[in-house]
Amino acid sequence: MPQIPDNKDACELLDADHIAVKHLFVEYARLATAAPDDSAADRTALALKICAELTVHAQIEEEIFYPALREALPDAGDLLEEAEAEHQEAKDLIAQIQALGQADAEMDALVARLNGAIEHHVKEERDELFPKAKAAPEVDLVALGEQLRQRQAELAGQAATT
Ligand SMILES: [Fe+2]
């Protein structure tokens, strides 16, 4: 993950993740188109980085962000259930990419599908979930941002040592 300034609130922090991973998807697609035969090692590294970053992102959303919203926003239940179902779809694609382990046409197709799934996830958070969270006085987005940031650092540290 890129360095996140400590003052980002929960929505800003999560959206910074969305933007960072989008850059990785764009770079992957560029390499897959421009140099499919010569960029396999770089694409493999990018794909594994995308998977690692999205895994942490989904985990901090599920552990911290979604439960806080579920408690504060009873009418967001359906939206949160849908978000969790979509996380599961992304996790299945991530598992398939990790199992392949090497960039090839099959991985290119899986990464493209994952990109589409994440674009959808990002759109729903930006258009629906974040505005609801921002409008709810009982949701402390600054405190949640701090919790997300700490857990993200912890998980990134674990990934780096395993
Ligand atoms: Fe997200």
The percentage of the chain sitting over the pLDDT mark of 90, rounded to a whole number, equals 90
pLDDT tens string 97-154: 999 999 999 999 999 999 999 999 999 999 999 999 999 999 999 999 999 999 999 9
Q: Does residue 109 form part of some domain?
A: yes
Q: Does residue 5 form part of some domain?
A: no
Domain with residue 40: its CATH number is: 1.20.120.520
For ion ligand 1, residues whose CB falls within 5 Å: 14, 125
Ligand 1 center to 44 CA (angstroms): 23
Ligand 1 center to 14 CA (angstroms): 6
40-71 per-residue burial string, b: 16 or more CB within 10 A, e: under 16: beebbebbebbbbbbbbbbebbeebbbebbee
Q: Does residue 56 form part of some domain?
A: yes
Q: Does residue 131 form part of some domain?
A: yes
pLDDT over 90 at 64, yes or no: yes
pLDDT at 96: 98
Q: Does residue 1 form part of some domain?
A: no
pLDDT tens string 31-41: 999 999 999 99
Q: Does residue 129 form part of some domain?
A: yes
pLDDT at 120: 96
